[in-house]
Amino acid sequence: AYPVESMKEKKGNDWRRSTEMVKASIEHYSAKWFEFPYPAATNVAGIVGGMEYPGIVFCSYTSVGSDLWGVTDHEFGHTWFPMIVGSNERKYAWMDEGFNTFINDLSTDAFNKGEFKDKSFFSDPVSPFMIKYTFGDKMDGLYTVPDAIQQDNLAIAAYMKPSQMLHALRDLILGPDRFDRAFREYVSRWAFKHPTPWDFFHTMENVAGEDLGWFWRSWVLNTWKLDQSVKEVKYVKNDPAKGAEITIENLEKMPMPVTILVKETNGKEHRSDLPVEIWQRGAQYVLSVPVTSEIREVVLDPDKKLPDWNRDNNKWKKAF
């Protein structure tokens, strides 16, 4: 049963939708990850920005619209992390706030057909500004104990970067179906227990059926950057009609899959999705492309899904 809000309509107050939002949030998480374990769910219009407890949360009485959805969904999301999955926030904040921020993104996409989509806690994580901030030399690593994280870095290290990491794993590495199955199993296996990062790593790999050691090293255990670049474009025997060989290079330490788009002067396009394994033997890889005319342009990561440190070297253009 979902009772009507006790806070009635007032000028400038949008808490009339609180129950709708609570219902949507807990039903989404229950269906997707693990059933809500408490007999009641209460959202209190309080004087704090947001705070969570088992079965009850406090959200600012001044929040309206997307802000009310964001804080309500975030605080109830904590039911799953760290109340169901008992992550130790004092040691691994990224497994609490970061995992919660990630599931918040998915629930926001689902709420009322995306009513508040792209209006959540953080701006675009792969924008040039956010990449420089998130992967800059002064940013603390995810594995840093929260008490030692610089205050200005806490929102990134505890919330945004781990969420970005999970999105990358879901969208670019495993795919939604395989990721969701593994993540759901992680919640189930570690419900009302206290997992460490390695328990999470092992569960995801066990269920997904893939060694992800390279991924954890890049995102969690180190503060590596990603910088894919187009190094060289050559034609077979200097004849465009016989095809081309394109050398791509990873200038930093983080390995990630590559999407490359090749545009010919005759209008044809070639798009290839290359797995992360192309970097196993070094930082350069040569791709053969069956072009029949000169190449007008080569673009890496054309959809801008990767946190590439320097996008300027993602392109090669024919000289005129």
Give the position of tokens 């969420």. 163
Mean pLDDT for 139-168 is 95
Cα 20 from chain centroid (whole Å): 26
Distance CA 131, CA 129 (A): 6
Give the position of tokens 């590495």. 173
Residue 121 has what pLDDT?
42
Instruction: For the full predicted model, state whether its pTM sits above 0.75.
Output: yes
Among 283, 278, 231, CA closest to 253: 283
Distance CA 62, CA 106 (A): 25
Among 101, 109, 149, CA closest to 125: 101
Q: Confidence band (pLDDT; 50, 70, 90) for 297?
A: very high
Q: CA angle 209-214-216, nearest 5°?
A: 85
Q: Confidence band (pLDDT; 50, 70, 90) for 13?
A: low
Mean pLDDT for 58-84 is 95
Q: What is the DSSP string of 255-280?
A: ---EEEEEEETTS-EEEEEE-GGGGT
Q: Which helix (H) or strand (E) holds 46?
A: strand 42-46
Q: Residues 6 or more apart from 87 whose CB is under 8 A from it?
A: 81, 95, 96, 99, 194, 195
Beta partners for residue 19, in sequence order? none
Q: Which helix (H) or strand (E) holds 133?
A: helix 128-134
Mean pLDDT lowest for which of 127-141, 162-176, 228-242, 249-263?
Answer: 127-141
Distance CA 99, CA 81 (A): 7
Q: How far is CA 12 from CA 20, 45, 64, 182, 205, in A?
A: 18, 14, 8, 43, 48
Mean pLDDT for 80-102 is 97
What the chain holds in terms of domains, given with CATH numbers, is: 15-221 (1.10.390.10), 228-317 (2.60.40)
CA dihedral 163, 256, 249, 258 (to 10 degrees): -110
Amino acid at the residue 160: M
Residue 52 has what pLDDT?
97
Give percent of the chain with pLDDT exceeding 70. 94
Q: Confidence band (pLDDT; 50, 70, 90) for 117?
A: confident
Bigger pLDDT: 116 vs 188? 188
